[in-house]
Amino acid sequence: MTDYSSSTNGHHSSNTSAGPRTDLLSTDPNERVEAEPIFQGDIDTDKNVVVCGAGGFIGGHLVADLLRQGYDQVRAVDIKPPNQWFQKFPEADNRSLDLREKENCYRALEGADQVYNLAADMGGMGFIENNKALCMLSVTINTHLLMAARDNDVDRYFYSSSACVYNQELQDTSDVEPLSEEDAYPALAEDGYGWEKLFSERMCRHFREDFDVTTRVARYHNVYGPFGTYDGGREKAPAALTRKAIEAKLSGSGDIVIWGDGTQTRSFMYIDDCVKGTQKIMHSDITEPINLGSDELVTINGLVDVIEEAVEVDLDREYDLTKPQGVDGRNSDNTKILNELGWEPPTALRDGMEVTAEWIEQQMRRHREEETTSRFAVPH
């Protein structure tokens, strides 16, 4: 078995965690909202908070946590019709708007105090490798939202960037050095998606400098968890491999196809940590982009080991070297977030994947029994 718990920088989280919370996984959205908040900080619940990309994986979890905290006004915005949102809560002001259009950004941010911009046309490596222009067009979303934030006197504006902004020449080995925030320059971002994110980071910086818009930027490292897409073509590695493992289990084949040779390395952050860290950064004094990710480095083979354990299946592995596989290695250097916030994402991969795999298997078994198609497979 691969040692999937080790990190190349020899660092292990100083945070203690009781593991992922299962009370946030109820099939009843009202019960999910009534749970204890993930983020518990000094906040003003009279603020009008807008979440852009609220119909997506991270956005849905963020909306839920804002509602748990008791915000009076939470506006949830997404391009998808609400019946295709990953999570939808009746307590929120749910709006279907195409934020690539400037006038829709102004409509979305009317009266807003705080804005979380999670909206983007993106997916896993298979999607971003084959849809570079679509990924680049997301630059219109952030640009128009920043203009609307400036003109509507928004108090704070959060932008979700990505580890894909980092110089690819620093990620050409599986035994990668953790990437610190300074490693984004000299710029050689991932083609398409990474360049869009890096440019949008700069837009946030210059709107802060030139127009006094208070902006915060986090570079997400591979977020996973329940209530996310696991099929349809946009899923990321943890969900895709889990789906394949469950398919092998249910069919009795025991076979799984892995993109690449399995030696590529990554770190993966559980969704609850992402939601908490996002809000910590939003309410902080951190003006420059900062890593938000786990520093628990794992090979893709090691990830499959974890999934086998979670799904309770032994898999025969086949490697497809023709498929997109991204950089050879990527990990998060958490020195800055530890120094600034005294915190880093604490959830161990084994713990997060156990909950995630159980949720995906429940979904797949239900759709198999009902002979229906997962709603997460709908293009979005």
By the 8 A CB rule, do 319 and 244 touch?
no
What b/e string do you get for 291-327 counting C-beta neighbours within 10 Å, with b at 16 or more? bbbbbbbbbbbbbbbbbbebbebebeeebeeeeebbb
Query: Which stretches of 69-177 are DSSP H helices?
Result: 102-108, 125-130, 132-136, 139-151
The SS3 assignment for 265 reads strand
DSSP, res 252: T
Residue 56: both structure tokens together = 């997506």
* 157 is a catalytic site residue: no
Residue 228: both structure tokens together = 């996310």
How many C-beta atoms lie closer than 10 Å to residue 183's C-beta? 18
Spot the catalytic one: 71, 159, 166, 193: 193
The SS3 assignment for 116 reads strand
How far CA 96 is from CA of 13, 37, 84, 102, 176, in Å, comes to 39, 26, 10, 14, 41
Tokens 């006094």, residue located: 212
Most distant CA atoms of the chain, gap in Å: 60
How many C-beta atoms lie closer than 10 Å to residue 134's C-beta? 17
Rounded to the nearest angstrom, the gap between the alpha carbon of residue 351 and the centroid of all alpha carbons in its chain is 17
By the 8 A CB rule, do 58 and 275 touch?
yes
Q: Residue 254's closest CA among 263, 245, 267?
A: 245
The SS3 assignment for 52 reads strand
Indicate the length of the chain as a whole number: 380
What are the residue numbers of the active site? 193
